[in-house]
């Protein structure tokens, strides 16, 4: 096994003077922010000529010193939106305190990583960069196992494209993806506060597994956030949260899109905030959105903010969350369904 550990370079130090805590309550979610009123050299997007957005931010004092997040956006008035904070030692989502100090850092830069043929590679605290000209993502893994801890992967708009995984397994903890991922006959595990600044996650003949913690996706354009094609399985475990930030009136299937032959097995919860349009969940003919436990109301599983065309599109029949309730719905003409289940899906 090859283990690569990068280094942090500090580009800003400061103190959190106020903050808003992330809250994943369905129907009333709150996005996390921090404010540093001593950010006198400018703003989070222009700190003395340096853009702090999309950089890692690490707590250096307080009860959760060592935990980190990434800066999502500059909200003005010295406030920044941040992804959920993650403690890498306890594998838990945590929050900063007022008065906690922090550093904003860059990380060791690595070119395209291309493990192949049953190699096992783990990368920590690095910025992985692809090559858009050659259509190479920051990771191009074939028949290999790959793991990421606290890394940043560049995406479209940063001279890269989405990472690609074929015939292998992949896991990510506390990392930032500048795009979605492309999976083909692969097993992808999203654990403990992974972020996708994505157009689309393409899952083909694969398993996309959310094992725990928050998987946050930022939808700032058209297209779905998480899509399964060609007999793939999306699996959201009990302790997992899928959170979607939908900006700029994002349309189409706003959160989950299931193409023919695919299944979404849902034990955790998902929600969207912002200007979500289109559909929360879109199920093609013959696809299955299955939630568990069997006696749960679907309103304990999903909630979609914004003004969606409908919460669910099931084989071209639209349904609200309230209409599905604890019973669900099966479209009789094409067998698309959103129903509670006792059984695990068959991948």
Question: What's the Rg (C-alpha) of the chain?
Answer: 20
pLDDT at 135 over 90: no
**Is the pTM here over 0.85, yes or no?**
yes
Name the more confident of 282 and 198.
282
Cα 291 to Cα 258: distance, rounded to the nearest angstrom: 14
The class (CATH top level) of 8-107 is mainly beta
The reported pLDDT for the residue numbered 118 is 66
12-55: pLDDT as tens digits: 999 999 999 999 999 889 999 999 999 877 799 999 889 999 99
CB atoms closer than 10 angstroms to residue 80: 25
Mean pLDDT of the chain: 85
Tokens of 107: 């990380």
Most confident of 140-149, 197-206, 289-298: 289-298
Q: Of the candidates 143, 145, 148, 142, which has an alpha carbon nearest to the alpha carbon of residue 128?
A: 148
Q: What percent of the chain has pLDDT over 70?
A: 87
Average pLDDT over residues 130-159: 80
Q: For 298, phi and psi rounded to 5 degrees? A: -65, -20
pLDDT of residue 18: 98
Identify which of 174, 164, 105 has the alpha carbon closest to the alpha carbon of residue 130: 164
Is the model more confident about 223 or about 246?
246
Nearest CA to 346 out of 261, 240, 241 is that of: 261
Query: Which of 257, 266, 205, 211 shows the shortest CA–CA distance to 232?
Result: 205
Strand duo 120-124 + 2-5: pairing: parallel
What 8-state DSSP symbol labels residue 246?
E
Summarised one tens digit per residue, pLDDT across range 284-342 is 999 999 999 999 999 999 998 777 778 999 999 999 999 999 999 999 999 999 999 98
Unique residue bearing structure tokens 């129907």: 27
Q: Which two tokens stand for residue 56?
A: 């890692």
Q: How buried is 255 (Cβ within 10 angstroms: 0-12 exposed, 13-18 middle, 19+ buried)?
A: buried
pLDDT at 321 (0 to 100): 95
- CB-CB contact of 55 with 11 (8 Å): yes
């Amino acid at each position: 096994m090859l283990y690569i550990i990068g280094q942090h370079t500090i580009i800003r130090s400061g103190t959190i003077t106020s903050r808003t805590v992330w809250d994943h309550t369905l129907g009333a979610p709150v996005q996390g922010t921090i404010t540093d009123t001593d950010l006198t050299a400018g703003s989070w997007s222009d700190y003395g000529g340096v853009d702090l957005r999309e950089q890692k931010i690490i707590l250096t004092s307080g009860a959760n010193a060592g935990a980190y997040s990434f800066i999502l956006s500059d909200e003005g008035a010295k406030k920044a939106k941040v992804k959920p904070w993650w403690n890498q030692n306890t594998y838990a989502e945590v929050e900063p305190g007022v008065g906690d100090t922090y550093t904003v850092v860059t990380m060791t830069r690595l070119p395209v990583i291309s493990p192949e043929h049953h190699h096992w590679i783990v990368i920590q605290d690095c910025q992985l960069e692809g090559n858009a000209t050659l259509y190479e993502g920051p990771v191009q893994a074939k028949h290999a196992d790959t793991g990421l801890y606290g890394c940043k992967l560049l995406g479209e708009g940063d001279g890269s494209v989405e990472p690609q995984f074929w015939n292998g397994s992949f896991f990510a903890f506390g990392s930032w993806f500048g795009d979605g991922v492309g999976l083909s006959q692969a097993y992808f595990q999203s654990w403990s506060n992974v972020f996708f600044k994505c157009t689309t996650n393409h899952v083909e003949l694969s398993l996309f597994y959310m094992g725990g913690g928050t998987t946050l996706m930022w939808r700032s354009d058209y297209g779905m956030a998480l899509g399964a094609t060609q007999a793939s399985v999306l699996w959201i475990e009990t302790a997992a949260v899928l959170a979607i930030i939908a900006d700029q009136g994002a349309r189409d299937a706003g959160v989950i899109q299931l193409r023919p032959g695919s299944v979404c097995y849902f034990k955790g919860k998902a929600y969207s905030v912002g200007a979500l349009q289109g559909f929360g969940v879109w199920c093609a003919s013959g696809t299955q959105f299955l939630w568990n436990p069997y006696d749960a109301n679907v309103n304990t599983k999903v909630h979609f903010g914004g003004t969606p065309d409908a919460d669910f599109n099931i084989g071209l029949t639209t349904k609200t969350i309230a209409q599905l309730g604890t019973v669900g719905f099966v479209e009789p003409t094409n067998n698309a369904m959103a129903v509670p289940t006792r059984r695990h899906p068959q991948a």
